[in-house]
Structure 1
Amino acid sequence: MSVTPPQSVDLVIEARWVVPVEPHAVVLEQHAVVVDADRIVALLPIAEARAAYAPRERVELGEHALIPGLVNSHTHNPMTLLRGLADDLPLMTWLQEHIWPAEAKVIGPEFVRDGVELAVAEMLRGGTTCANENYFFPDAIGATYRKLGFRALVGLPVIEFPTAWAKTQDEYFERAGEVHDSFLGDPLVGTAFAPHAPYTVSDASFERIRVLADQLDIPVHLHLHETAHEVEEEKKKSGLRPFQRMQKLGLVNDRLIAVHMTQATDGEIAACAEAGVSVVHCPESNLKLASGFCPAEKFRRAGVNLAIATDGCASNNDLDMFGEMRTAAILAKAVAQDAAAFDAASALRAGTLNAARAMGLEEQIGSIEPGKQADLAAVRLSDLETQPLFHVASQLVYATGRHQVTDVWIAGRRKLAGRELVGMDLEAMLARTRQWRERIAAV
């Protein structure tokens, strides 16, 4: 009788708990995730994994939860270099009188590169493995993510006024096409159109975006209904709410990533559900800028794909997805006036699989399933701050800090090992960050 020898694979990660996210609200005890090359090939009990697989590397996580890498579905990561520059101000004052003038003085490929690198280091140390980027110089942004081996969807910016990136509308679209083409087939970096907001983009530009997004098969990543002021100004200008204007222009469809949506009517929520729109909830940025409250539980109950994101460091002021999930869950309960609203498992799903779905990446990442990319984060739950432990999902959302993330993999490659960044020069990065601080402070 022949015995089948163990199959050779690159990596087996054994964990006290595995939280796959799909199926929903499931926690598997004493399970192993088997990885070969960049993909998950099996999820099974540890004893069975040891019998069936011979890994080149085995990682034993005795008191950890292994979760999908967190997916930050709305970021402006070069703005990490503007963290804390102009706090405690309302949105338009913050943008028009502080952020935009500062950016105009320093923005360029080097600013973008160094800001993204700082952001990647912060995200990895917090268990985040993918970002949905929305900023200028997407060529430099994408090149930096590619160099660092970090997964990202890079926004192709469109705005109605000249910037250091493009001077005319035709140039915005020409450069968008060039950047899109440069990342075709890249295993980690993709693209999306990133028109800034209805109040800064014309109907003509939105119409071009709608046609091109269909042709290129990419999402449209848009700030929408961030504040009541935005809604009132659009009504004065066009007689329509911004969402209605997007409907009229054909943008309300399953490609739309609608960010913020703090001012949503029941009819608009139903329209999002019917059209397949993804809504990205950035609770801490909305709270800090006093922008309003996204009705997260209403969106969830309506069947809308609801994701969670941090927004940029200039308005949050961090890229901590654990903190964001906790705030989202607690805030949703207060807004819904229902303590059972937006439970912990739903919050974790919004920070992983739902966020991946918003970005069109749900077949690749967002859950721990065979065939998917091995984007994974190990979270140590033995710390006193997460003891005693009764329910793993609740502890991850309501008690865990990002400092408890010990190890991270993207596409099967270790990016964080025992809290140490792999392949990144932390001291050199911090030195460049201090130089940018001096330059920006002098503006």
Structure 2
Amino acid sequence: MPEKIDTLITHAHLFTMQGEGVGYIPDGAVAIQGSRICAIGPTSELKTRFEANEIIDASGCAVLPGLIDAHMHTSWAVVRGVAQDVSNWMQAALAPYARHVTPSAALAGTRLNILEAIKAGTTTMGDFSKPYPGWAEAFEGAGVRARLTPTINALPTGGMAGLKIGELYPLDPEVGQQAIDTAIAFIHDWHGAAKGRITTMLGPQAPDMISRDQLLQVKRLAEKENLMLHMHVAQGDREINQMLKRFDQRTPEYLKELGYLDDQLLAVHLTEATDEEAALIARSGARMALCSGSIGIIDGIVPPAYAFREAGGLVALGSDQAAGNNCNNIFNEMKLTALFNKIKARDPEVMPAWEVLRMATIEGAQAIGLGDQIGSLEAGKEADLILVDLSAPNLTPVLETPIRTIVPNLVYGGSGQEVKTVLVAGEIILRDGKAQKIDEAEICSTAQSEAEKVAQRVAVDPIHKNMALLTAMKKGQM
């Protein structure tokens, strides 16, 4: 007698990500019971073994593990597009908006970003934010998997708005301690919530934004709570300038001295790290979150991910923030990661499509500490997967011999709009391109309304007159 299960996905171009490559199975099938995968294999075999409550015919579709966005700042979606094409995006473009983003505006941005990411096939989201009402609940309600990091810094109220570029940040230990206490309380409330879909990390925002003593305190807490650390590292010349002024050390050397370089650390960006520093961090066991689109736009730099990987390090992909990157879409990050690194190396063989697809799936999962649960399609793992319509004009034709073209077309031709169906923990949260658990129209309408309110507050704040993009706008250039 066939075994009864919840869902059977059949007739797929199946990419399991098992082994060293993409683990392709032609005419493949996935059997799901509850939140987990119970079998994968040829459709003919699994149709005989199982009787499913729902059969999803994936003919003409690629079936992949759900994509992983290791590093996001979802609240900034409410001010999408205000901080690009400038030399100091944080202080000269984002900061005047940041001081006017209310908790309701932040929540509207998060909900918009979650919707955007789901529709482009992202099932796991590594968000980094100061907690505000409804933050974790937004991920829980949308049905996605989230790795949430409450921001810890010691910047005084108002952040960096109003500071002169290059001026040493004032750090307030009371603010830092309050942020640490808030983060620990959030973690105790949410780590392991939603049947394990919501997990947490500890997140010093960056080593230049918190004192040495408090950075060490956070490290000790992470060890006590058995949590990973999620931190911006060597994220720009602004940070390196602050580190040299405050500690007379570059970031990697400083973190090594503090004992921060180990497999507990997810190091984000490494924008200003040299190849030698990237290799040092990789060999320590620390992992890297690479945000190619964001860093390309806001810094004009290709971070040393190739050197990091060559030294044996794990690299995950992230989309960062929509204020500067303009989108939170891992298809975009896969393509830009491959292209930027080929161009930087002047070598078309660097970062082939299959490698960046692994960075968006199994290697990304391993980098954020969830490789035993997600990132590949195999029995016993969580049923987080996506169906991508290969009949879309930009992914057609589909060739399997003598060269299989599906993976390069997904990476170099895919936009995310071809994602048809998304499952997280065995539950369909996107069906035929429509979100199943959240109201798309309401989310977009609320985000528009909240964004307009933020813009109105910025417009009457005198600090906005120093924003770099105002000149371009007044000239009619944007």
- Where on the TM-score scale, by shorter chain, does this alignment land: which range? over 0.9
Instruction: For 2:123 and 2:282, locate their aligned partners in 1 and report how far apart those are by CA, in whole Å.
Output: 27
Tell me if 1:342 matches 2:356: no
Instruction: Answer yes or no: is the 8 Å Cα contact 2:141–2:438 preserved in 1.
Output: no
Q: How many angstroms apart in 1 are the aligned matches of 2:68 and 2:291?
A: 13
The equivalent position to 2:447 in structure 1, one of 433, 437, 442, is 433
Aligned ranges 1:6-21 → 2 under 5 Å: 6-21=2-17
Give me the whole-angstrom Cα distance separating, in 2, the residues matched to 1:15 and 1:363.
Answer: 26
Moved more, 82-91 or 170-179: 82-91
- Residue 93 of structure 2 corresponds to 98
Does the 8 Å CA contact 1:67/1:376 hold for their aligned counterparts?
yes
Q: Residue 164 and residue 112 in structure 1: after superposition, are their counterparts in 2 closer, same or farther (change >3 A)?
A: farther
Matched, 1:146 2:153: no
Could you list the per-position Cα deviations for residues 189-233 of structure 1 after superposition, in whole angstroms to 9, with x for gaps in the alignment? 111111111221211111011100111111111111122343244
- AA in 2 matched with 1:159: N
CA distance in 2, matches of 1:384, 1:144: 34
Aligned-residue offset at 1:264: 2.5
Change in 2 beyond 3 A, CA 1:228/1:99: closer
Query: What are the ranges of 5 or more consecutive residues in structure 1 without an aligned counterpart?
Result: none
CA distance in 2, matches of 1:258, 1:138: 24
SS at match of 1:132: strand
Question: Closer, same or farther in 2 for the Cα pair 1:97/1:331, shift >3 Å?
Answer: closer
Match of 2:418 among 381, 397, 404: 404
CA distance in structure 2 between the partners assigned to 1:85 and 1:120 by the alignment: 20
Are 1:51 and 2:48 counterparts? yes
SS in 2 for 1:298: helix
In structure 1, what is the equivalent of residue 236 of structure 2?
A: 227
- Residue in 2 that maps onto 1:81: 78
* Equivalent-residue separation in structure 2 for 1:262 and 1:171 (angstroms): 29
Calculate the TM-score normalised by the size of structure 1. 0.94
The DSSP-based 3-state class of the residue aligned with 2:296 is helix
Tell me the CA shift for residue 324 of structure 1.
0.9
1:280-319 to 2 correspondence within 5 Å?
280-319=289-328
Residues of 2 paired with 1:393 and 1:79: CA distance?
31
Partner of 1:367: 376
Q: Which moved more, 1:33-42 or 1:238-247?
A: 238-247
- 1:31 to 2:38 alignment: no
- 1:175 alignment counterpart: 182
Whether contact under 8 Å (2:274, 2:304) holds in the other structure is no
Distance, in Å, in 2 between the alignment partners of 1:69 and 1:440 is: 33
How many residue pairs were aligned? Answer: 436
Could you tell me whether the CA contact under 8 Å between 1:227 and 1:291 is conserved in 2? no
Change (3 A) 1:122 1:273: same
Distance 2:282 2:94 in 1: 34
Conserved 8 A contact 1:151-1:410: yes
Change (3 A) 1:97 1:401: closer
Tell me the distance in 1 between the aligned counterparts of 2:297 and 2:245.
27
**Alpha-carbon distance in structure 1 between the residues aligned to 2:445 and 2:62:** 34
Q: Take 2:307 and 2:91, find their aligned partners in 1: how far apart are those partners? A: 32
The Cα offsets for residues 30-80 of structure 1, whole Å up to 9 and x where unpaired, read as 010000000001001101111000000000011000001000000000111
User: Which ranges of 4 or more aligned residues in structure 1 deviate by more than 4 Å?
Assistant: 163-167
Following the alignment from structure 1 to structure 2, what is the Cα–Cα distance between the partners of residues 168 and 263? 27
The Cα offsets for residues 402-427 of structure 1, whole Å up to 9 and x where unpaired, read as: 11000000100001100111021122
Match of 1:132 in 2: 126
Aligned to 1:384: 393
Q: Deviations over 1:256-301 (max 9, x none)?
A: 1111112223432332232111111111111111252212222222
Q: Does the residue aligned with 2:388 lie in a helix, a strand or coil?
A: strand
- Whole-Å separation in 1 of the counterparts to 2:228 and 2:259: 13
Alpha-carbon distance between aligned partners in 2 of 1:247 and 1:139, rounded to the nearest angstrom = 36
C-alpha distance in structure 2 between counterparts of 1:265 and 1:318, whole Å:
27
Query: TM-score under structure 2 normalisation?
Result: 0.88
Match of 2:473 in 1: none
AA partner of residue 176 (structure 1): A
- Structure 1, 416-425 or 234-243: larger mean CA deviation: 234-243
Paired with 1:170 and 1:236, the residues of 2 have a C-alpha distance of 23
* Structure 1 position 132, deviation (Å): 0.7
